[in-house]
Amino acid sequence: MSELIVIGYEDHAVARKAFKAVQQLRDDHVVELNGLAVVRVDQDGETHVDTPAKTEEIALSATAGALWGLVFGMIVLTPGIGVVGAALGGLIGKLNQMGVDRGFRQKVSDLLAPGSAAVVIMASKITEDRFAAAMEPFGGTVLKTSLSEESERELSEQLTGEGPGAA
């Protein structure tokens, strides 16, 4: 099961510090990451994404990388899109079935107002108390949901076009 955690901040500098803290928590084995990004929305409403792959190497399988990219894109970058293609619509439907519902996506969208930032974390394993204690100094608004291993597998199959869940 993966935990999807989005922590919203009013200040990009604080989000960057929190991002670095999550990287340190990964190094300290407090959290195992499937994905990590800091998202900044400028004053014009344009979204900018920074991932560890841009700042350092992080070992992710191709499937985990594709899954992370899809989940991240569906939750953070497309919640306001009304008209989508059939394939993308099917994937959004799959996320809805997996518990990543419109309400959660809307809350994430609300966190990402112009001038704000968020740290987006997809973790396969997390020591909750140590993670919370390490992140507490940064404050922020925390949103969290879970993806089951079965849901991740189904989504991966749909992404790769393999297996019974493929479109």
pLDDT of residue 17: 95
E strands, 13-77, are: 31-41, 47-50
pLDDT digits (tens, 9 = 90+) for 42-73: 888 877 777 755 444 444 444 455 555 656 66
pLDDT of residue 72: 62
Q: Could you state, in chain order, the average pLDDT of each consecutive group of 10 residues for the chain (167 residues)?
A: 87 94 95 85 81 50 54 57 42 55 76 88 90 97 81 58 50
Question: Shortest CA distance to 78 belongs to which of 51, 58, 43, 49?
Answer: 49
pLDDT of residue 135: 97
How far apart are the C-alpha atoms of 29 and 38, rounded to whole Å? Answer: 20
pLDDT of residue 156: 53
User: Angle CA(5)–CA(6)–CA(12) in degrees, nearest 5?
Assistant: 140
- Tokens representing 46? 């344009």
**C-beta separation of 36 from 76 below 8 A:** no
pLDDT of residue 5: 87
Burial of 137 (0-12, 13-18, 19+ CB in 10 A): exposed
pLDDT of residue 78: 54
pLDDT of residue 67: 53
pLDDT of residue 157: 59
